[in-house]
Amino acid sequence: MTLPQDQGPAPQSAPERHDAVDVIRAKRDGKPIPEDALRWLVDAYTRGYVMDAQMAAFAMAVLLNGMSRDEIRVMTEAMIASGERMSFADLGKPTVDKHSTGGVGDKITLPLAPLVAVFGVAVPQLSGRGLGHTGGTLDKLESIPGWRAALSNDELFAQLRDVGAVICAAGSGLAPADKKLYALRDVTGTVEAIPLIASSIMSKKIAEGTDSLVLDVKFGSGAFMQDVDRARELARTMVALGTDSGVATTALLTDMNTPLGLAIGNANEVRESVEVLAGGGPADVVELTVALAREMLALAGRPDADVEAALRDGRAMDVWRAMISAQDGDPDAALPTPRETHTVTAPTSGVITRMDALPFGIAAWRLGAGRARAEDAVIHAAGVDLHVKPGDEVAAGQPVFTLLGDDASRFERALAALEGAWEVGVEAPAHTPLVLERITA
């Protein structure tokens, strides 16, 4: 009979270099965090060593006390280091991306990516889905029959080489630390912390590997940052992060007090985007598309590109059709249409003085155009079509907007969201610029 041998104590894992409590206390007390400790915190949280409760305490301390420029840079670099980093160096042409902080009716990515690609610049637009009142680019494009958001890296590179523009889902390998931290911020009241917003956005964009980046940072009732000064602070922080990481970065500060364009939803926003690519479309959508295209092309070394001509002569439309087809979509297919509609008319004659973006975004969401949870499905035909915008004259009984949906029982809650959100008056509102400011390093 053989007795079991004493194997001795179990092997010990290597000791951790820092203690999460020390990092939390330092930020709580407004003291600088050593670079090595901050990199360790992000890595240890990604590995599961630092607990959610500890990271939540750190996030709250950041919300209350902020972070220095160096701390934000280090945290962003640590989040990038948690996953893979892409490179487009072998494409043989410059790459430029655009990121919007989101808004109501913001479909600019759809006409913008093919427009910029006309000029020999690659546009790898890794996009997301909507949550709440702000729509997701992928949700809009999935209105197109057959179109798919998921591409392999080989497919992504081939499409950039052959077509020049890609709009697709970001892979899970980019900045996984951000995905974990974002979910925690969402349930701990720390989403609004500007250092954490900036590092979240920029960790993914820098890891994406583009040469340059243009940020569309929105302010106003329908924006994530409603206050213009906080939006400006966020823009400056992100431009600094991109610059410090070697990515040429600029930002435009844009107004989101009124919905962008006339379509709010998914399929209807695709239709409006195609109108822009055909040389038409609402003036504000065209204005912002052109402004962002000029900014992107200037960073990519094409400052003299005539973007308006590319919209007029069909070149941007040609790239759009090739981009949709390359991802198995049918650019000629009919888009979903709603089974039910409800039109609201002007109670009196006058001029539209106000249309607050946020309530219109909420109405579209309640109709099914958005989702309350990440796993919810969207109704691609749902949304709101505007017939007029602030400054337009209306006659009593003239249509102001139409609710779109597949279930008429949703109209009541959508209309409730729009109570007091718009008005007819006697005097046109003062003109406000769509692009308020350009922010550079």
CATH code of the domain covering residue 42: 1.20.970.10
Same domain, 55 and 111: no
Give the active site residue among 204, 236, 321, 366.
204
Same domain, 251 and 381: no
Place of tokens 């006309």: 118
- The answer to pTM > 0.85 is yes
Q: Please give the Cα distance from 197 to 206 (Å, whole number).
A: 14
**Of 43, 223, 162, 213, nearest to 151 (Cα)?**
162
Identity of the amino acid at 202? M
Let me know if residue 243 belongs to a domain.
yes
Distances from the Cα of 346 to the Cαs of 395, 403, 425, in angstroms? Answer: 7, 15, 11
Let me know if residue 4 belongs to a domain.
no
- The CATH number linked to 366 is 3.90.1170.30
DSSP class of residue 95? B
Let me know if residue 439 belongs to a domain.
no
Using the CB atoms, write b or e for 126-139: b if 16+ within 10 Å.
bbebbbebbbbbbb
Residue 364 CA neighbour count, 13 Å, CB half: 36
Give the active site residue among 43, 139, 178, 244.
178
Same domain, 266 and 241: yes
The number of folded domains in the chain is 3
Let me know if residue 358 belongs to a domain.
yes
Place of tokens 């430029």: 96
Give the active site residue among 127, 143, 200, 273.
200
Last residue of a domain, one of 326, 361, 380: 326
Which residues 6+ apart lie within 8 Å of 39 measured at CB? 74, 77, 78, 81
Let me know if residue 334 belongs to a domain.
no
Q: Please give the Cα distance from 137 to 335 (Å, whole number).
A: 16
| Strand, coil or helix: 226 | coil
Same domain, 56 and 185: no
The predicted pLDDT at position 4 comes to 37
Distances from the Cα of 297 to the Cαs of 114, 118, 316, 327, 347, in angstroms? Answer: 12, 10, 14, 24, 46
Query: Within the chain, which residues score under 70 in pLDDT?
Result: 1-14, 130-134, 373-374
pLDDT in tens, 218-230: 999 999 899 999 9
Which residues 6+ apart lie within 8 Å of 369 measured at CB? 135, 264, 265, 266, 378, 379, 382, 383
The predicted pLDDT at position 131 comes to 61
Q: Where are the alpha helices (DSSP H) in 142-175?
A: 153-162
Same domain, 405 and 320: no
Respond yes or no: is residue 232 known to be catalytic: no
Let me know if residue 249 belongs to a domain.
yes
pLDDT in tens, 75-115: 999 999 999 999 999 999 999 999 999 899 999 999 999 99
The predicted pLDDT at position 2 comes to 38
Respond yes or no: is residue 339 known to be catalytic: no
Give the active site residue among 185, 218, 321, 410.
185
In terms of residue numbers, what domain contains 98? 89-326
- The CATH number linked to 227 is 3.40.1030.10
Q: Please give the Cα distance from 325 to 352 (Å, whole number).
A: 40
Same domain, 159 and 185: yes
**Of 231, 274, 262, nearest to 111 (Cα)?**
274
Let me know if residue 408 belongs to a domain.
yes
| Alpha-carbon dihedral angle through residues 53, 55, 59, 62, given to the nearest 10 degrees | 120
Same domain, 55 and 139: no
Same domain, 185 and 254: yes
Same domain, 116 and 147: yes
3-state percent helix, strand, coil for the chain, nearest multiple of 5:
45, 15, 40
Give the active site residue among 99, 140, 205, 218.
99
Same domain, 52 and 149: no
Q: Are 214 and 96 in contact (CB under 8 A)?
A: yes
Q: Are 231 and 215 in contact (CB under 8 A)?
A: no
Let me know if residue 202 belongs to a domain.
yes
Respond yes or no: is residue 99 known to be catalytic: yes
Identity of the amino acid at 115? L
Same domain, 105 and 226: yes
Last residue of a domain, one of 326, 349, 377: 326
Same domain, 367 and 294: no
The predicted pLDDT at position 130 comes to 67
* Residues making up the chain, counted from first to last: 441
| Strand, coil or helix: 405 | strand
